[in-house]
Amino acid sequence: MSTKKILCMGFFILLLLILCTLPVLAYSQEATDKYAQGNALMKNKNYTQAIEAYEDAISLAPDYFEAWNGKADALNRVQRFTEALAASNTTLALNPDYVQGWINRGYILYNLGQTDNELKAYDKAISIDPSSPAAWFNRGYSLAGMKRYDEALAAFDTVKSLDPNYPNLAANRHIAEQSRDAATPWYVKNALTLGIIAFFAIGAIAWFISVRKEH
């Protein structure tokens, strides 16, 4: 390979690296520090202060979609659901492919009682990243709440295949399984046994009728 080709290739790789880091470079250090502060406050459940930190980050970088999502999450946790949904709208307008943004939107819609739209939010997250255990888990949780237990169990099984150690997976799957069994009518649960009994009962009746005819 000639020196000229090597230089061109090196320049192309360098250009790609620069382009890949542009989203990070778009936020100032001060903005990212405020965002990190907001995340730390969220972990300590200081939600009101976290909102302020995220707002500071947004004021410095209005297109900081992660900060908008953090704000939406914090607002949701202090039960300011309408404001949380508005912040979620901004998050996803800035980055429609942000998986965590769609999952967080599902949480907000759940609290607003919009269960159908909640499920759609998780489905959207899955369509963007089918390997996201969080999206599948929340889909299963949502379906269980809608009493669609078989679909919920299938979603939980997908989570298990993606991340067997996902938090609270086994417990939620067990609850969905118990709820499904409790909701299933006794005659459906025992369909096979009832079918066998009916078969022998019909046979016995037919035999009895045939014996009487002979006499």
**151 neighbors 143 (Cβ within 8 angstroms):** yes
Residue 15 has pLDDT above 60, yes or no: no
What is each CA distance from 55 to 47, 78, 174, in whole angstroms?
12, 15, 40
Q: Are residues 100 and 31 in the same domain?
A: yes
Tell me the CATH number at 89: 1.25.40.10
* Residue range 117-155, pLDDT digits in tens: 999 999 999 999 999 999 999 999 999 999 999 999 999
Q: Give residue 8's pLDDT.
A: 47
The residue count of the chain comes to 215
Q: Are residues 134 and 185 in the same domain?
A: yes
Total domains, the chain: 2
Q: Are residues 92 and 142 in the same domain?
A: no
pTM of the full structure: 0.74
For residue 215, give every residue at least 6 positions away whose Cβ sits within 8 Å of its Cβ, in sequence order, or none. Answer: none
Establish how many alpha carbons lie within 13 A of residue 94's alpha carbon, considering only the half-sphere containing its beta carbon: 18
Can you give the residue range of the structural domain that contains 79? 27-105
* Residue range 46-93, pLDDT digits in tens: 999 999 999 999 999 999 999 999 999 999 999 999 999 999 999 999
